Amino acid sequence: MACILIPEENRVIKDNAEIGAYLKPFGIWHERWALDERVSPSAPADEILAAYQPEIDRLSEAGGYITADVMQVTPETPNLDAMMEKFKSEHTHSEDEVRFILRGTGLFHIHPPSGPVFAIQVEAGDLINVPKGVKHWFNLCADKSIRAIRLFQNPAGWTPKYVKEPVSVYYKPLCFGPAFVPGQGAKPASPLGGGVEGRFKV
Ligand SMILES: [Fe+2]
């Protein structure tokens, strides 16, 4: 189940309806899709895509997505840290970034034009989009593992365009979970003046 973390407000949103309402002004949508009863999250990619074809068709019609694939990384993935390096600095894309999480957990930070930076933690069963042009970055959580369906309007468009002076350097990728300790992972002094120190109300 997804949750939203708002460091500047020491706030966590875990209710699905509240998550949707919070994301809506930013053009971000979040859905929950059924998992095991449809197909094993570990099934081959073609079986995964076939199982979710109705949802993929619906989104493709609405968003103009023309291709879908399944990506996965695990701690054993060669050069994982180098691979993730390019996603963890603030960037935009000229296409939407659409992900349905089959397995694992990850953290999308969103830097909106106004209002505080917030993070959306996604896990198995969460569908999320980051609209084109929205400043964001992505980190894996501690399990360093994720498997996801990706939808593309144009795969060539899904290239990071990095933001000058990224604020991502001021945020620790703290994922919410049993090991979450409020106040841990303090970031360095921030020009944002928000004193973001990874503390969240729960
Ligand atoms: Fe991205």
Domains of the chain with bracketed CATH: 3-170 (2.60.120.10)
Low-confidence ranges of the chain (pLDDT < 70): 155, 157, 178-202
Provide the pLDDT for residue 38.
86
**pTM of the predicted model, to two decimals?**
0.85
How many angstroms is it from 28 CA to the middle of ligand 1? 13
Q: Determine which helix (DSSP H) or strand (DSSP E) holds 19, and give its type and residue range.
A: helix 16-23
Q: How far apart are CA 152 and CA 54, in angstroms?
A: 16
How many angstroms is it from 61 CA to the middle of ligand 1? 22
Q: How far apart are CA 38 and CA 72, in angstroms?
A: 19
Provide the pLDDT for residue 176.
83
How many angstroms is it from 129 CA to the middle of ligand 1? 10
Q: Determine which helix (DSSP H) or strand (DSSP E) holds 67, and give its type and residue range.
A: strand 67-73
Q: Name the token pair of 4.
A: 């939203």
Contact 157, 93 (CB under 8 A): yes
> Model confidence over 62-104: pLDDT tens digits?
999 999 999 999 999 999 999 898 899 999 999 999 999 999 9
Provide the pLDDT for residue 198.
33
